[in-house]
Amino acid sequence: MEDKSKQGKKNNFIFNLFFDLEFYLKIAISCAILQRFLHWVLHDVELNFITQVVLYWVVSSVSFYVIGLFIEKVIKNNDQLRDKFNSRVKKVKKQPFPAFTAKGIIIGQIQGLITALIILYLAPEVHRGNGLLLNLRWFFMRIIAADFCFYVAHWLLHRKILLRIHLKHHEFADSSSFVAGHKSLSEYIIVTITDILPIFIFGYDLTQLLAWTIIGNAYNLEGHSSLSIFFIASDFHDLHHTSFKGNYGIHGFWDRVFNTLNPPTKKSGIISPVASLEKMAVKLSSRASKVTT
């Protein structure tokens, strides 16, 4: 029995490791493919500093609203799609979400423009070309580093001394996509710093930055939507909002490392092959145990 227990823990560790790796690879591959397209579109275009800032700002803002509205107004308004993609396990009371206001949108755009200006002014620009493997490695390192930076900042925001800064984001247990952008100015600054730190570490190519921004918006909005559409394969972040503890990273890797994981319910399916394989392995193990007994 002890050997079986050890084997079960070992299998669980392996599946969890590959589950996290699957998420990182989804981000890296999606970014690398999108970067190749953006490089094809922009490689012959001369862009001065101001044009780069405006392009970065516009792509970030437009992708945020387009992806968020698609999730909330298209997918969630379709009963079949909403039920199919639902990842929420813990029930919460439904909450009315604040409506968009001209003031809120304007303030958000000003923050985004200032952020784009600071990043492109201070970060080292590196022209890496369009090599798929080269960019794949860059994005893979980028998501792991970004996950670690976010984990540290998010963990700190849940400490007593900084918690009041973070409480605005946690006004909603019944989160929707746009809760991703519902935060205080202080939290916005902190989270932005953690997001741009890897850019200062690795440098940036504009096409890489644009690809990262679009994919980053996609998984961030999906992660707050209570749905599992493509990037998100569990209720990991939804559980953070409904339980208000643990799961401080973008995904579960660093929470496993630092023992702050609130175990999520994995959603199996075509887009989540590791969770599907784990589910099959558990069933086979259960059948084998019944046969031996």
The token duo for 40 is: 């094809």
Task: Enumerate residues 6+ apart whose C-beta is below 8 A from 244.
Answer: 170, 173
3-class secondary structure per residue, 130-166: CCHHHHHHHHHHHHHHHHHHHHHHHHHHCCCCCHHHH
Smallest CA-to-CA distance from 277 within 288, 266, 263, 289 is with 266
The 10 Å CB-count burial string (b at 16+, else e) for 138-163 is bbbebbbbbbbbbbbbbbbbbeeeee
Compute the residue count for the chain. 293
Total domains in the chain come to 1
pLDDT tens for each residue of the chain, 293 residues long: 445 556 557 778 888 899 999 999 999 999 999 999 999 998 888 889 999 999 999 999 999 999 999 999 999 999 999 999 999 888 888 877 767 788 888 888 998 999 889 888 888 777 766 778 888 988 998 899 999 999 999 999 999 999 999 999 988 887 789 988 888 888 988 888 887 787 777 777 889 999 999 999 999 999 999 999 999 999 999 999 988 889 999 999 999 999 999 999 998 888 888 888 888 887 776 666 655 55
* Domain carrying residue 263: 2-292
pLDDT of residue 60: 94
| pLDDT number for residue 174 | 79
d(CA 7, CA 10): 5
| Angle formed at CA 267 by CA 262 and CA 268, multiple of 5 degrees | 140
CB 248 within 8 A of CB 240: yes
